[in-house]
Amino acid sequence: MSQKATASENASILQAEGNITINQNVSFTEVERICTILFENNFPKLLDDAKKQSEEHVRSFVKIALEKIERSQSTIDIAKLAEPDVQSTFNSAVMTAARKGDKTDLDILAELLSNRLQSGNSDAIDLAIEFAVELIPKLTNAQLNLIALIKYIGEMCVNIPSFLQNDAMYLDDYYRKVYIAFIDNIENFTAGDIYTISSLGAACTFERDKLSFKSSWVRNTYSFIDFTSLPSKYPHLNLVLNFYIENNLHRYTLSTVGQVIGVLLLKKHIFPNFSLSDYVN
């Protein structure tokens, strides 16, 4: 016999394998309960060993997600958990965590959930977050790093106050952090990684002249830099630009989904105060 789920005036229905009624007046303590129910409804028949492992993955993920949500409580609307599309996004994230554990970036996945609860998001950012949750488990660490580099070099970069423009070490230190976070630890990277990013909808190509890109980028981004002094005075900036150009990253621009992932990676590794509303076009 099929059963139809109904919701009272102050509740909404979360559909997984079964029907779960969730009160709209949810609190932060409800997040863990919701994630546990989602897991149990979606993985009812796992063998004991596999279920224990998946449960541990979910516990680790929920702990990270709760920390991020509680840290952002002044800017989020926890009542959004009662919305069906938000519940669906949480469901996708929990299922990814259960299946893959630390084989995927649980920190970014949790950051996406926290940002999905932000009260001031545009519809475009909310939709991009939903797609990003589905995309994260399909991307390797190398591919995620490439997305962060495209976002940073192609669309952002550090704004240097005029009184620090003569301090080469100040600027180069940012690019040292970029190099360590996104280039130095790239393993098994191939040209196919960037094509995968594009085919999954996180980036698209456009024409840029490879030979003139480096000099024009430096001139347009940091006009106070003498280009000929780049290798000696700004060695990490030079390394980052060389990697960027040699791997043809200058030929790609990110979709909204790619931008969301890129900004959150930069927030995780270098710029903790970054927000999607400020840096996603």
Residue 7 is predicted with a pLDDT of 35
Residue 212 is predicted with a pLDDT of 86
Domain boundary among 134, 166, 195: 134
Domain boundary among 97, 119, 134: 134
Query: What's the total number of domains in the chain?
Result: 2
Residues 199, 262, single domain; the answer is yes
Residue 159, domain extent: 141-279
Domain boundary among 100, 134, 168: 134
Residues 114, 234, single domain; the answer is no
In whole angstroms, give the CA distance from residue 278 to residue 74.
17
Residues 116, 204, single domain; the answer is no
- The per-residue pLDDT of the chain, averaged, comes to 82
Residue 125 is predicted with a pLDDT of 95
Please name every residue paired with 254 in a beta bridge, in sequence order, or none if there are none.
203
Residues 209, 264, single domain; the answer is yes
In a domain, 4, yes or no: no
Residues 120, 194, single domain; the answer is no
Residues 163, 130, single domain; the answer is no
Residue 240 is predicted with a pLDDT of 95
Residues 151, 273, single domain; the answer is yes
Residues 126, 150, single domain; the answer is no
Residues of the chain under the 70 pLDDT cut: 1-51, 158-165
CB atoms within 10 A of CB 187: 8
Quick: pLDDT tens for 65-106: 889 988 888 898 888 888 889 988 998 998 898 888 888 899
